[in-house]
Amino acid sequence: MKSKQYLRSFLFALLPAAFCVFLLLNKPLQKPPPAFNDWKTIQGKGEISVGVLQNGIDYHLINGKVYGFHYKMAENVANMLNLEIKYLAFPTYWDAFYSLLSGEIDLLAMDLGNDAQSEVFLDLTTPVSFSSYVLVQNKDNLLLNNNLQSVQPIKDSSFSIKVPQLSAYYEQALWLMSKTNMVLDLQTSPSASVIDYLNYISENQSVVTILDKKIMLTCSSLYPTLDYSVELSEELPFCWAVSQGNKTLLKVINNALGKLKSKPQYGYLLKEYYTAGGSNSKRLSRNSRKIPNGYISPYDDLFKRYGQQYGIDWRLAVAIACRESAFNPHALGKYDAFGLMQFLPSTAQHLGMKNFNSIDNQVKTGCKYLKILKDKFLKMGVDSADIEKFILTAYNAGACHVEDAIRLTKAEGNNYRQWSEVEKSMLHLADIKHTYKVRLKCGLYRGNQSVKYSKEVYTLYLHYKNLF
């Protein structure tokens, strides 16, 4: 039995090399161009694509709002570099690695250690944080104590150790087995996330995993049955990464990280996300049962139903509801605006809404109105790729002002089908140096707030698309 388990562990140790061979065999024989964007290319585009892990520490939603240590760190770095940021969320390291190597993203903003697979695939940044590795085990059936000795007489085969594939935790698992001379059933999966492992261990007493301590400090309140007191290392650096060979981007990111870590906000983020009893830990504990896992809001099923009925992406409608009312169906706003979608009573009546207090009616009427706006602007010939931006701005400003901006864009000889051009005209609707060229049906209008609203809700919508 032991010889078979040794063989299994040896085969698992070959996984990083096997992955390299897989990538090489799926590439053409001629030398391909680098599958990454260097700094000059990214700077020219004005946008950087960042991969993050979807979990309760790195990147997640609570009550429709986006939180996460690496999410906030990447946002700060992008702002320092004057870049827009596009997030791609991944459930596992495997998915994230593949996306970076294929050139889909520019930067991995997640905890990466200096291990074998990182050396093969990646160029690591300067450290983003430090933490020790810990053994995570069920309190009802401990495997090892702080001296790495068996707590009770056990058969090696009775325990399995699960770690995420292509993570720094894998090498720690091999080290632990070597250090203790225990032959555990080492299991990895390309489809399981860190949270999946925590959930599994909390329900299974004969399974352990390895994580970094700062993750457990945040998650401990959610998993009271788990013990993480056995430390397996001193504090070690955790880094971000770019594709191997992308030296220009690596230099720029390192410079930005160095500046960010010298600012007070870096310390605030560490305290918020990586301390027991920190604000992120409290948020997770407070909301873990408030909204079911896999939902953005308590009303997702309604948004999905009426989104499908009216041909609207339900996540767009949810993003509006989050921004307008924070999912409060009884919210009251300016000029008697009410409910999830903050309709004015006159607008609600015009759309045929009768029972203002009905959550079902609020969601239905909201999706119906978005359908009307969508049809209006598509009929005017706007680019369908930009339709959400036209809809969001019209939702805030009123369709009439957006129509005026489209007419002004035409009058100035610009492409009225593209939102980037119409957005400029929205900002000029109060400037007579521009508006003299066209008769405004709805008069002068300061469009800066509506443009800001559109950007904020569209960004939230993209996060929802990432996660759902």
Task: From 423, 449, 462, 450, select the one nearest 319 (Cα to Cα).
Answer: 462
Q: Is 168 within the bounds of a domain? A: yes
295 in a domain, yes or no?
Answer: no
| Three-state SS at 456 | helix
Q: Are 314 and 296 in contact (CB under 8 A)?
A: no
Q: Are 349 and 383 in contact (CB under 8 A)?
A: no
**106 and 251 both lie in a single domain:** yes
Q: Are residues 420 and 334 in the same domain?
A: yes
Q: Check whether residue 254 and residue 177 sit in a common domain.
A: no
Cα separations in angstroms, 114 against 75, 121, 153, 240, 440: 24, 11, 34, 10, 61
- The CATH number of the domain holding residue 351 is 1.10.530.10
In this predicted model, which residue has the larger pLDDT, 393 or 152? Answer: 393
Please, are residues 141 and 226 in contact by the beta-carbon 8 Å criterion?
no
| Same-domain status, 77 and 218 | no
pLDDT one-digit tens code per residue, 319-375: 999 999 999 999 998 888 999 999 999 989 999 888 888 999 999 999 999 999 999
Are 334 and 427 members of one domain? yes
Alpha-carbon distance 138 to 209, whole Å? 10
Encode pLDDT of 267-321 as tens digits: 999 999 998 888 888 887 776 545 555 789 999 999 999 999 999 999 999 999 9
Last residue of a domain, one of 193, 215, 235: 235
What pLDDT digit, counting tens, does each position of 209-254 carry?
Answer: 999 999 888 888 788 899 999 999 999 999 999 999 999 999 999 9
Assign residue 254 the CATH number of its domain.
Answer: 3.40.190.10
Give the whole-angstrom CA distance, residue 174 versus residue 263: 38
Task: Kindly state whether residue 6 falls inside one of the protein's structural domains.
Answer: no
Convert the pLDDT of each residue in 116-149 to its tens digit: 667 778 999 999 999 999 999 999 888 888 888 7
- Of 217, 252, 286, the residue that ends a domain is 286
165 with 141: CB under 8 angstroms? Answer: no
Q: How far is CA 339 from the centre of its chain?
A: 28
Is pLDDT above 80 for 69?
Answer: yes
Residue 75 inside a domain? The answer is yes
Same domain, 69 and 84: yes
Determine the distance from the C-alpha atom of residue 424 to the mean position of all C-alpha atoms in its chain, rounded to a whole number: 29
- Using DSSP, state whether 182 is helix, strand or coil: coil
Residue 403 amino acid letter: E
- How far apart (Å, rounded) are the C-alpha atoms in residues 461 and 385? 14
- Say if residue 223 is in the same domain as residue 358: no
In angstroms, the CA 276 to CA 220 distance is: 7
Q: Which helix (H) or strand (E) holds 34?
A: none
Residue by residue, DSSP assigns 113-136 as -S-HHHHHHEEEEEEEEEE-EEEE
Within this chain, do residues 332 and 446 fall inside the same structural domain, yes or no? yes
Average pLDDT of the residues in 5-13: 46
Enclosing H/E stretch for 21 = helix 15-25
Q: Specify whether 87 is located in the same domain as 176.
A: no
- Same domain? For 373 and 423 the reply is yes
pLDDT of residue 159: 77
Please give the residue range of the domain that contains residue 152: 135-235
Mean pLDDT score across all residues of the chain: 86
Q: What's the number of domains the chain is made of?
A: 3
Q: Residue 113 is encoded by which pair of tokens?
A: 């250690």
